[in-house]
Amino acid sequence: MDFTHYSVDDFVLDESFQAFVAGTDAAAVRFWQAWLAEHAGKQAEADQAQDLVQGLRSARPYPVPAGLKRQELLRLRQARRPLLAQFQLRRQRRVRFAAVALAVALLTGGWWQWGRPAAGAGPMTQLATGPGQHRTLALPDGSVVVLNGNSTLITAARWTAETPREVWLTGEGYFRVAHLAPRGRTDIAGAPANVKFVVHAGGLTVSVLGTQFDVNSRPAGTKVVLSEGRVAVDRPAWLTRENLLMQPGDLVETSAAQPGLARRHVQPALYSAWTEGQLKFRQTPVQEIVQLLRDAYNLRVEVADPAILHQKITGDVAASNLDLLLPALAKSLDIQVTRTGDVVRFQSEAR
């Protein structure tokens, strides 16, 4: 292209010339330097154009007040979370329920937050496992979570001493929570958010100070099994709030069919056995093993002969593989165990 007829204005308006002045395009810089060296007669016009472009380029960025950006980011987060929650509620439930939900939310100051990370929380990070996969996660506060297959744990992405110890679980996880409260402190509810440790799972809020427990939250229901220490379980409902304090060996559950909190006593070691990969039966009544199959493996168990339930078993068996577990039970009990889909039948061996 011929630039010898270019006026000052032509130079100013030429995007390639602008890039040369700004130095943003190496090819343009090389081209115009070479071109100007060859066309000394156009130097004066090019200089004028260059001055104008350079002058306009060096306009001062608009002064942004210090801290405004961060402050506005927080505002964005706060505005966004409730909107999101309201929006999802509206989609999930019919309109009249949404109206009730909104009113309740306003009255109770955000009870709906148990389902998802709360307003004002920082960026979240999500850790997940595929089918049959186990993952051991060390949290920044010193706590350890073992995730069972098909499970997801959501935590704050950045974790400081001030961050509430709070996680959201779907699927199953075994928690070994680091104890941060001063020695002798036992009041869980009254502990500061960065001292107590809270697991949100399937409509339950599980609060502890430092202990070991298993949480299993599947679509059918949510179960908490306490190995040691103390755990407070809350179930916020539409207008009420149910809570209880678990003792070691307690299993507390809620399900779609029976939403109220139900408590019974189990052998907690059986419920955390999946983390080790080994079920260790020590004079364990079949009754408890049947219970375990129902609770942890979500199987329907039918026992034809009640006498079987009172037998006791000792031995180790792989926890993760039902194809090994069920034959092992059959062999050691000398019974027949048949599985059809999710239904398992225990029958006395026909001799």
Partner 1 sequence: MPSPDASLWTDFLAGDERAYERLFLTFYDELYGYGMRLSNDGELVKDSIQNLFQRLWQRRTELRAVEAVRPYLFKSLRHEVAKAIKAQQRRSWLQSSYSEEFKVQYSPEDFIIAQQLTAEQHARLLGALGQLSNRQREAIYLKFFDGFSYERIAEIMALNQQSIRNLIYQGTQSLRRSLTPVLLLVLLHGGERVCQ
- Reference 186, options 231, 221, 155, 137; nearest CA is 231
Of positions 33, 54, 278, 321, contacts partner 1 by CB under 8 A: 54
**Cα–Cα dist 150/128, whole Å:** 7
* Least distance (Å) between residue 46 CB and partner 1: 11
- Reference 202, options 156, 248, 246, 151; nearest CA is 151
**Cα–Cα dist 15/24, whole Å:** 11
Segment near partner 1 (CB under 8 A), from 43-51, 102-110, 192-200, 313-321?
43-51
Segment near partner 1 (CB under 8 A), from 61-69, 189-197, 226-234, 244-252?
61-69
What are the residue ranges of helices labelled H in 177-267? Answer: none
By CB atoms closer than 10 A (0-12, 13-18, 19+), residue 314 is: exposed
Of positions 3, 8, 149, 159, contacts partner 1 by CB under 8 A: 8
Would you count residue 72 as binding partner 1 (CB under 8 A)? yes
> How far is C-alpha 163 from the geometric centre of its chain's CA atoms?
15
Segment near partner 1 (CB under 8 A), from 46-54, 204-212, 233-241, 246-254?
46-54
Do 181 and 141 form a contact (C-beta atoms < 8 A)?
Answer: no
Within 283-302, the residues that bind partner 1 by CB under 8 A are: none
C-alpha radius of gyration, the chain, whole number: 33
328, amino acid identity = A
Segment near partner 1 (CB under 8 A), from 75-83, 180-188, 235-243, 316-324?
75-83
- Sorted by sequence, the CB contacts under 8 Å of residue 44 that are 6+ apart come out as none
Would you count residue 157 as binding partner 1 (CB under 8 A)? yes
Would you count residue 22 as binding partner 1 (CB under 8 A)? yes
Would you count residue 52 as binding partner 1 (CB under 8 A)? yes
- Our CB check for partner 1 shows the closer of 158 and 282 to be 158
- Our CB check for partner 1 shows the closer of 117 and 173 to be 117
Would you count residue 155 as binding partner 1 (CB under 8 A)? no
The 3-state DSSP class for residue 177 equals: coil
Would you count residue 21 as binding partner 1 (CB under 8 A)? yes
Angle CA 163–141–118, to nearest 5? 30
- Our CB check for partner 1 shows the closer of 157 and 220 to be 157
The 3-state DSSP class for residue 149 equals: coil
**Cα–Cα dist 11/138, whole Å:** 62
Would you count residue 28 as binding partner 1 (CB under 8 A)? no
Phi, psi angle pair for 33, to nearest 5°: -60, -45
Q: Report CA-CA distances (Å) from 321 to 166, 317, 318, 335, 345.
A: 32, 9, 6, 19, 17
Within 89-128, the residues that bind partner 1 by CB under 8 A are: 123-124
* Least distance (Å) between residue 226 CB and partner 1: 33
Of positions 34, 73, 193, 256, contacts partner 1 by CB under 8 A: 73
Of positions 30, 87, 108, 189, contacts partner 1 by CB under 8 A: 87
* Least distance (Å) between residue 177 CB and partner 1: 26
- Our CB check for partner 1 shows the closer of 48 and 152 to be 48
Would you count residue 68 as binding partner 1 (CB under 8 A)? yes
Of positions 1, 2, 4, 15, contacts partner 1 by CB under 8 A: 15
**Cα–Cα dist 229/37, whole Å:** 83
**Cα–Cα dist 150/170, whole Å:** 8
Residues binding partner 1 (CB under 8 A):
8-9, 12-13, 15, 18, 21-22, 24, 47-48, 50-62, 64, 68-69, 72-73, 75-77, 79-80, 83, 87, 123-124, 157
